Amino acid sequence: MALEDYRADMERCSRCSFCKWIPLAHIKSWRFSRGCPSMEVGKFHAYSAGGRYAVALSLLEGRSSYTDKLLEVVYKCQMCGLCDVACKVCRYDLEPLEMMHELRARCVNDGQFLPQHVPIIDNLRKENNMMMKPKAKRGKWAEGLEVKDLTKEKAEVVFHAGCRLSYDEEQCKLARTAVTLLKNAGVDVGIMGKEEKCCGGRAYDMGYQEEFNRFAKMNIRAWTNAGVKTVVTACSDGYFTFKRLYPQAGSNFEVVHIVEFIDRLIKEGKIRFTKTIPMKVTYHDPCHLGRQGEPYVPWKGVERKIRAQIKIHEPRKPRYNGAWGIYDPPRNVLKSIPGLELVEMERVREYAWCCGAGGGVRQAYPDFSSWTAGERTEEAKATGAEAIVSACPWCERNFIDAINMNGGKMKVYDIVELVQQAI
């Protein structure tokens, strides 16, 4: 699809501003009623999904041209997709998030990108990661871990650590724990080690679709060669990329997030908890595991009108609105840990507030990224929880950094850490 393909969407936007709020049905307080971090910081209407429709239409019609402000409107957004969910509470004919992806892709193709993104994308092209690190050090996290090397052996399951868990020295132990859990449960698992490559999902969110396609092809080829049937990851960005985007590039692998796998192992009795963790926690739904974590459904069809002017699709077009994301498995896991008390924030599941890390925002607008995370930890604090738990290393890192910066006492965990502690 190209930006022009969303022109009708742009013209059909009713400027209701649902995209600025969590679904109105779920608003419980003034304090936590907002849904769009970009709008909260950008403040002008243009920073909402509805506003971006107007900006894109203005660009397409030649009414506006590229300016620094326009690029900020385009890029100062985590692409978290809350707007997409809120819009689709009433609209069946708009795809705001898809349009925003195409708007970024258009900007990149026109050479209109952020200078802050340039070194990151250059590093991705040369070193295969988004962390500004050398590819030679990618497999360091797994040193001493007895696990199959899928560049030499074959296995049913590949564990994809992802860029952050491969390089973040504080967080990489999570990858080791995840692999150990899988091995102990008897799973035939292997890793790509230093040959593992970025999923390309973050580049896709930033508008670099060519880079995404290149990495998708490389990963699909490597897994195919290794006889892989299932891809497991502990990274929610990676999960979304493999689950939703890769099938469009020809992937047929089963994709499972580690929390789904753990939930399954607990139910099968293959993970048993022996220790109590007396702690009140709240769970943060990562955008790419929750509302954007719905499975891809292939579709090829056309639009047609019925009842004179009602636009429908032939055949029936799959609809992504956050309804079928991964929400319960992480909660099931947390509830099964002895002593752990799970309390919910006001904005959860498909209408969760974003952690702030995504869409290239952490790299380009660190203050905005940190503010967004701070808003979330404030919401977590309001529940009385001692800790905020997530299932994505990007969320975890952003929360840790925001709390360190703001001086809060909230603890931050990945679910895998708590599972390990309780075993």
Partner 1 sequence: MVPFKELPKDAYQALEDIVDSENISQDPAILDSYAFSLNGELVSRDGSKFMPRPAAAILPGSTEEVQAIVRVCNRYKIKFKAFSAGWAFVGIAAPFEEGMLQIDLRRMDKILEIDEKNMFAVVEPYVIGTTLQAEAMKLGLNTHLIGAGSNCSPLASACAGAGPGGDTIFMGYSPQNLLALEWVMPTGEILRTGALGSGCGWFCGEGPGPSTRGAFRGMQGSSGGLGVFTKCALKLYPWPGPAVMPVEGTVPAYNSPLPDNFSAYTVAFPGWDAYFEANYKLFNAEIAYNAYKQYILFGEELQAAMVRILTDPTKQLDDLEELLKKPEIQKLTEKMRRSFQIILAGMTPRDKEYKEKALDEILASTGGHKVPELSEPLMRNWTLLYLMRLCFKNINYVWGGYIGGFVHGGTPDFAKSWYPLAIELKRKFLKEKRGLVDGGADTLVCALGSIGGGGGASAEQFTQYDPTDPESVKVALEFLASSRKVGREHKLGGGLLDWHPLYKEKMQQVLSAASRPAIFHWQGKIKRAFDPNDLGDTSWPYLEESKK
SS3 string of the chain?
A: CCHHHHHHHHHHCCCCCHHHECCHHHCCCCCCCECCHHHHHHCCHHHCHHHHHHHHHHHHCCCCCCCHHHHHHHHCCCCCCHHHHHHCCCCCCCCHHHHHHHHHHHHHHCCCCCHHHHHHHHHHHHHCCCCCCCHHHHHHHHCCCCCEECCCCCCCEEEECHHHHHHCCCCHHHHHHHHHHHHHCCCCEEECHHHCCCCCHHHHHHCCHHHHHHHHHHHHHHHHHCCCCEEEECCHHHHHHHHHHHHHHCCCCEEEEHHHHHHHHHHCCCCCCCCCCCEEEEECCCCCCCCCCCCCCCCCCEEEEECCCEEEEECCCCCCCCCCCCCHHHHHHHHHCCCEEEECCCCCHHHCCCCCCCCCHHHHCHHHHHHHHHHHHHHHHHCCCCEEEECCHHHHHHHHHHHHHHCCCCEEEEHHHHHHHHC
Work out whether 311 is an interface residue with partner 1 (CB under 8 A): yes
Work out whether 29 is an interface residue with partner 1 (CB under 8 A): yes
Residue of the chain from 5, 69, 119, 224 that contacts partner 1 (CB under 8 A): 69
| Site size toward partner 1, by CB under 8 A | 67
Is 49 or 415 the residue whose CB approaches partner 1 more closely? 49
Is 321 or 370 the residue whose CB approaches partner 1 more closely? 321
Contact region for partner 1 (CB under 8 A) — 10-18, 180-188, 247-255, 331-339? 10-18
Peptide bond into 315 cis (omega under 30): yes
Contact region for partner 1 (CB under 8 A) — 62-70, 184-192, 228-236, 357-365? 62-70
Is 16 or 118 the residue whose CB approaches partner 1 more closely? 16
Single-letter amino acid code for the residue at 156: E
Residue of the chain from 60, 218, 222, 312 that contacts partner 1 (CB under 8 A): 312
Restricting to residues 42-61, name those near partner 1 by CB under 8 A: 43-46, 50-51, 53-55, 57-59, 61
Residue of the chain from 5, 93, 122, 153 that contacts partner 1 (CB under 8 A): 93
Q: How far is the CB of 238 from partner 1 (least distance, A)?
A: 24
Work out whether 174 is an interface residue with partner 1 (CB under 8 A): no
Residue of the chain from 317, 405, 417, 421 that contacts partner 1 (CB under 8 A): 317
Residue of the chain from 25, 144, 269, 274 that contacts partner 1 (CB under 8 A): 25
Measured between alpha carbons, how far is 89 from 24 in angstroms, rounded to an integer?
A: 9
Work out whether 12 is an interface residue with partner 1 (CB under 8 A): yes
Q: How far is the CB of 84 from partner 1 (least distance, A)?
A: 11
* Structural contact between residues 157 and 188, judged by C-beta atoms closer than 8 angstroms: yes
Residue of the chain from 62, 115, 278, 298 that contacts partner 1 (CB under 8 A): 62
Work out whether 218 is an interface residue with partner 1 (CB under 8 A): no
Work out whether 217 is an interface residue with partner 1 (CB under 8 A): no
Work out whether 297 is an interface residue with partner 1 (CB under 8 A): no
Residue of the chain from 60, 89, 132, 218 that contacts partner 1 (CB under 8 A): 89
Work out whether 213 is an interface residue with partner 1 (CB under 8 A): no
Contact region for partner 1 (CB under 8 A) — 8-16, 188-196, 227-235, 405-413? 8-16
Is 54 or 179 the residue whose CB approaches partner 1 more closely? 54
Contact region for partner 1 (CB under 8 A) — 142-150, 303-311, 328-336, 411-419? 303-311
Q: Which residues contact 294 (CB under 8 A, 6 or more apart)?
A: 243, 244, 320, 322, 323, 324, 325
Q: Which residues bind partner 1 (CB under 8 A)?
A: 7-8, 10-18, 21, 23-30, 33, 43-46, 50-51, 53-55, 57-59, 61-65, 67, 69-70, 73, 85, 88-93, 305-313, 315-317, 319, 321-323, 350-351
